[in-house]
Amino acid sequence: MASAAIDVLDPFYVNSSDTPGLNLINEQLLGTENYGIWSRAMQIALRARNKLIFIDGSCPKPNPGSDSMLQWERCNAIVLSWIMNAVSKEIFSGIVYSSDAAVVWSDLRERFDKVNGSRIFALHREIGCHVQGTCSISAYYSKLRQLWDEYASLVTLPICSCESSKKFIEFDQQHKLLQSLMGLNDSFVHIRSHILMMNPLPTVSSAFAIISQEESHRSLLSVPSQQLETSAFFSVQNRKKNDMRCDHCNMFGHLKENCDKLNGYPPGHKFYKGPWKNGNQKFIREGYDKGRVVGKANTSVVCANEADQPNVVQNAGSFFTPDQYAAILKLLEKEQVTGEQTVATANMAGPVKWEDNGDW
């Protein structure tokens, strides 16, 4: 049978992407602990490739000499290679010599599909104890869905379309809704009450869509208003600074009266040189070297021009306001005048001539 004559819906049809080295799923079979998830993922992938019949036994090997024998062997080898690509190295060594995909699949199910009461009990307890905690609504719901799906794969549920089956499905959905709402944090107590008062009760997916919207709304309201006001304040301040331009240094961000190049750099600036250099009695801060009188070390710096006098006069270890410094200057001037008068009086004094009054 030529491959060109095979219909695309026929299980014997092989697409150009159906290569033996293809990995159908990301899960690798490790053993009993993940066989349930692995087998379900493989069945979904094989059904999508229309090759599920090669593992469920519905497409047995044709008789020798049959027209479909060659095509069956080709498809069987491809499915078998897909199974080998999805198992661990330890399991791979045990199935590499097999020649029938259905036999390999049946052997893996017999070895690892151990559905027992202990696992069902563990899943049931984990579902009942699962709470949101610090997880987001999306992460909490995803984990819960994973536990539900694994539990459903281990327990046989009715799938017929009768009335009793429909009622059981409704009961199962209501039970899952209550389980999911019980695990929510107390911060969602109001939205939980709102959902429980709805008639009829929504499905689990619809309920979590409502809760997710509430979570998104809270995240928008959680931004502090003070932070927004602070950001707006600094934005305005930065905009004002960018509008200012100094007439002296032609730089943006300040005006001439606040220019460090004209008034002197503050301590800590890389261009700050300090008020003294090599003991010279000169004030070397840029912009302060003209019209000033400088005293000795540990004394205040005097500005001769009152227009250039800073608001605070700095010495080696303290600060004075202009009024305080003026009072200090008056005291110094008064002491200087007193000293000069004392020296003048001493210079005017001469030898004393005693008159002889005859008392001696």
Q: What pLDDT band is residue 61 in, cutting at 50, 70 and 90?
A: confident
The predicted-structure confidence for 208-255, as pLDDT tens digits, reads as follows 999 999 988 888 876 554 455 555 555 555 555 556 778 777 776 777
Do residues 185 and 214 lie in contact, with contact meaning Cβ atoms separated by under 8 Å? no
Q: What pLDDT band is residue 4 in, cutting at 50, 70 and 90?
A: low
The predicted-structure confidence for 101-159, as pLDDT tens digits, reads as follows 999 999 999 888 877 788 888 888 999 899 999 999 999 999 999 899 888 877 777 67
Q: Is the per-residue pLDDT at 320 higher than 70?
A: no
Distance CA 333, CA 330 (A): 5
pLDDT of residue 140: 93
Nearest-5° angle of CA 118, CA 204, CA 185? 80
pLDDT of residue 197: 93
* Residue with more model confidence, 225 or 257: 257
pLDDT of residue 290: 42
Q: Considering only 147-156, 166-175, 350-359, which range has the smallest mean pLDDT? A: 350-359
* Mean pLDDT of the 29-58 span: 89
* Mean pLDDT of the 57-78 span: 87
Q: What pLDDT band is residue 64 in, cutting at 50, 70 and 90?
A: confident
pLDDT of residue 83: 94
pLDDT of residue 319: 56
pLDDT of residue 245: 73
Q: What pLDDT band is residue 68 in, cutting at 50, 70 and 90?
A: confident
Q: Considering only 211-225, 283-297, 337-351, which range has the smallest mean pLDDT? A: 283-297
* Mean pLDDT of the 60-72 span: 86
pLDDT of residue 239: 54
pLDDT of residue 181: 93
Q: CB-based contacts of 292: which residues, under 8 Å, 6+ apart?
A: 283, 301, 302, 303, 304, 305, 308
Per-residue three-class SS string for the chain: CCHHHCCCCCCCCCCCCCCCCCCCCCCCECCHHHHHHHHHHHHHHHHHCCCHHHCCCCCCCCCCCCCCHHHHHHHHHHHHHHHHHCECHHHHHHHCCCCCHHHHHHHHHHHHCCCCHHHHHHHHHHHHHCCCCCCCHHHHHHHHHHHHHHHHHHCCCCCCCCHHHHHHHHHHHHHHHHHHHHCCCHHHHHHHHHHHCCCCCCCHHHHHHHHHHHHHHHHHHCCCHHHHHHHHHHHHHHHHHHHCECCCCCCECCCHHHCHHHHCCCCCCCCCCCCCECCECCCCCCCCCCCEEECCCCCCEEECCHHHCCCCEECCCCEECHHHHHHHHHHHHHHHHHHHHHHHHHHHCCCCCCCCCCCC
Distance CA 337, CA 349 (A): 19
Distance CA 163, CA 140 (A): 33
Say if strands 313-314 and 301-303 run parallel, antiparallel, or are unpaired.
unpaired
Q: Considering only 141-150, 260-269, 325-334, which range has the smallest mean pLDDT? A: 260-269
Q: Is the per-residue pLDDT at 207 higher than 90?
A: yes
Do residues 238 and 230 lie in contact, with contact meaning Cβ atoms separated by under 8 Å? no
Q: What pLDDT band is residue 273 in, cutting at 50, 70 and 90?
A: low
Q: What pLDDT band is residue 270 in, cutting at 50, 70 and 90?
A: low
> Helices 101-112 & 69-85, crossing angle to 10 degrees?
30
Q: Is the per-residue pLDDT at 3 higher than 50?
A: no
